[in-house]
Amino acid sequence: MGSNKVIVFLANLYSQVIVPFELIYMIFTGRYDTVSEYILLVIYVLVIFFFHFSFCYWGYTSFYLRYVYSFFIIIGTFLIIYRIIFIQDIIFGQLSDLRNSFRRIIFIIIFTVININIILSKRKKKNCFDLTFPFENGKFLVIDGGDGKKSYFTNYHYYGWKRKNIKNYYSMQFAVDLIKLNKYGFQKCNLLSSSNKDYNIYGEKVYSPIAGQVIKVIENLEDNIPHGRLPNNTGNQIIIRSDNYYISLYHFKKDTIVVNLGQNLEIGDYLGEVGNSGYSIIPHLHIQVVYSEDSDYWLGESIPIIFNNIYPVKNYVIKS
């Protein structure tokens, strides 16, 4: 594995395996003299776990693993409640009993604020633009989606591009990235693979989510090696115009796009196959809708998307 792959592997190992196991261990083995200390422990575990539950890219270690962790944390919480009520004769305690828990309290405050922003970023908007889901068969995981302005941890596109001083970051506030899961909840069949072909979504057929006119097509760019060096382009793409709305689909596989510039599309028309071209570290489909009264749609207003009344937010699975 290259250095980037090692970093990604270790980061996911830590955030999706080590941290949850530490939290479960804490909630099952923690022993304290006061009820207030137990309450602080439970709050600490819940706010940290909720962050990882909401933020992590669970396609690496199985989307379903987070529910296994949730089960054990819920059981651990009930065991603490049972221990306090029926077994241990302990006092509630005072604030002074928490003087050695300053670090834990700071973490609770920080992650509570972050989690509130995550929750707010996933609230369905009123002015959503309805698209037909662009895939036909399977389970697809939203790996970025929601209001990126409210939370980077829900949708990196807004602040991720803003930090790069890219002027079009505002148009990506509600952009959506999709991958495909297998029946075990993984995004690929070989966890350590460097091949695009091992990703479930690679080569997946994409269908037009809307009726409109094709105003831009790029189809001849090579796919990237997963987690490798990225080119300075947005990849193979199709831009569809419907009135003053611009629907952009990115990262197609090289030479698979079958539509032409100026072509009028209907919903469900075949477009091409998912690839890993452009600014993309793994195979996925990027979709965004922008409102613009001129052709400079990259600087337009980002519009939240719904797929057949489903609001696609991070870590939501869409079945087709």
Mean pLDDT of 153-161: 86
Query: Can you state the angle between helices 19-29 and 35-55, rounded to 10 degrees?
Result: 160
Across 107-121, 125-139, 166-180, least confident range:
166-180
Q: What structural domains does the chain harbor?
A: 3-121 (no CATH), 129-319 (2.70.70.10)
Give the model's pLDDT for residue 118. Answer: 98
**Average confidence (pLDDT) over 171-177:** 95
With 0-12 CB in 10 A as exposed, 13-18 as middle and 19+ as buried, what is 190? exposed
250: β partners: 237, 286
CB 161 within 8 A of CB 168: yes
Burial of 200 (0-12, 13-18, 19+ CB in 10 A): buried
Instruction: Report the alpha-carbon distance of residue 302 to residue 288 in Å, rounded.
Output: 8
Q: What is the pLDDT of residue 179?
A: 98
Q: Helices (H) and strands (E) in the chain — how many of each?
A: 6, 13
By CB neighbour count within 10 A (0-12 exposed, 13-18 middle, 19+ buried), where does 95 fall?
A: exposed
Nearby residues of 73 by Cβ (< 8 Å), 6 or more positions away: 23, 24, 27, 45, 46, 49
pLDDT of residue 288: 97
User: pLDDT tens digits for 228-259?
Assistant: 888 989 999 999 999 999 999 999 999 999 99
> How large is the average pLDDT for residues 252-272?
98
pLDDT value of position 34 = 82
pLDDT value at 95 more than 70: no
Return d(Cα 280, Cα 318) in angstroms, integer. Answer: 21
**295's tokens:** 């052709």
Share above pLDDT 70 across residues of the chain, in percent, rounded to a whole number: 94
Identify which of 174, 84, 165 has the alpha carbon closest to the alpha carbon of residue 122. 174
For residue 131, what pLDDT is reported?
98
Range scoring the smallest mean pLDDT among 6-10, 25-29, 89-93, 115-119: 89-93
b (16+ CB within 10 A) / e for 62-87: bbebbeebeebbeebbeebeeebeee
β-strand pairing of 305-307 with 129-131: parallel
Q: Could you report the per-residue pLDDT of 217-226, keeping only the tens digit for each?
A: 999 999 999 9
Dihedral class, residue 227 (left if φ above 0, else alpha if ψ from -120 to 50, else beta): left
Tokens in use for 52?
A: 């990882």
Average pLDDT over residues 174-200: 91
Q: What's the residue count for the chain?
A: 320
Cα(240)–Cα(262) distance, integer angstroms: 9
- pLDDT at residue number 1: 42
Q: How far apart are CA 261 and CA 152, in angstroms?
A: 34
**Across all residues in the chain, what is the average pLDDT?**
92
C-alpha to C-alpha distances, 135 to 131, 132, 155, 207, nearest whole angstrom: 12, 9, 21, 6
